[in-house]
């Protein structure tokens, strides 16, 4: 028997038949599966959103339950914001955690929604400035081609 041919990782295997990809599946199957997955995800998200909306409407009808719910959202969101603020000087995603906490709070409180929108826009501007600075730094480096 002859030994099998082992290709290095950088070389993909050739398709076994015309119209097939490297895994041997027909070309359109991967794209169709991806589109189907997206469609199912959208449908599930809409259904979950409708269900959550209905539950929230039921909670709003009862003043005591509404107060308990809003208090719970305030405690969880406030704790998340506080954790994010504590994490900011440490290495890691402290600012993102704080913005996430604002996202939790903004589901129930208008002031938190305004703060979240503003914090998100500031974070996006900072990200753009950091990318611009990185690109300028890379452009100013001399090429090290050998």
pLDDT of residue 38: 78
Contacts of 73 (CB under 8 A, 6+ apart): 104, 105, 107, 108, 109
> By C-alpha distance, which of 68, 96, 74, 71 is closest to 83?
96
pTM of the model: 0.52
Domain boundaries, the chain: 27-61, 64-139
Cβ contact 95:123 at 8 Å? yes
Cα gap 109→102, rounded to integer Å: 9
pLDDT of residue 11: 47
Mean pLDDT of the chain: 78
- Where is pLDDT greater, at 146 or 132? 132
Complete DSSP assignment for 70-135: HHHHHHHHHHHHHHHHHHTTSSS-HHHHHHHHHHHHHTT-HHHHHHHHHHHHHHHHHHHHHHHHHH
Question: What are the tokens at 139?
Answer: 């452009």
pLDDT single digits (tens) 66-120: 899 989 999 999 999 999 999 988 888 888 899 899 889 988 888 888 888 888 8
């Amino acid at each position: 028997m002859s030994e099998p041919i082992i290709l290095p990782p950088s070389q993909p295997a050739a398709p076994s038949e015309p119209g097939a990809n490297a895994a041997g599946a027909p070309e359109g199957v991967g794209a169709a599966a991806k589109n189907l997955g997206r469609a199912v995800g959208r449908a599930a998200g809409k259904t979950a959103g409708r269900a959550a909306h209905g539950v929230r409407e039921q909670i709003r009808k009862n003043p005591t339950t509404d107060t308990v719910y809003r208090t719970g959202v305030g405690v969880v969101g406030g704790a998340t914001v506080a954790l994010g603020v504590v994490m900011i000087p440490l290495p890691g995603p402290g600012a993102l955690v704080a913005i996430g906490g604002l996202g939790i709070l903004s589901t129930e409180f208008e002031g938190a929604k305004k703060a979240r929108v503003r914090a998100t826009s500031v974070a996006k501007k900072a990200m753009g400035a950091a990318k611009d600075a990185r690109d300028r730094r890379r452009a100013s480096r001399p090429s090290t081609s050998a």
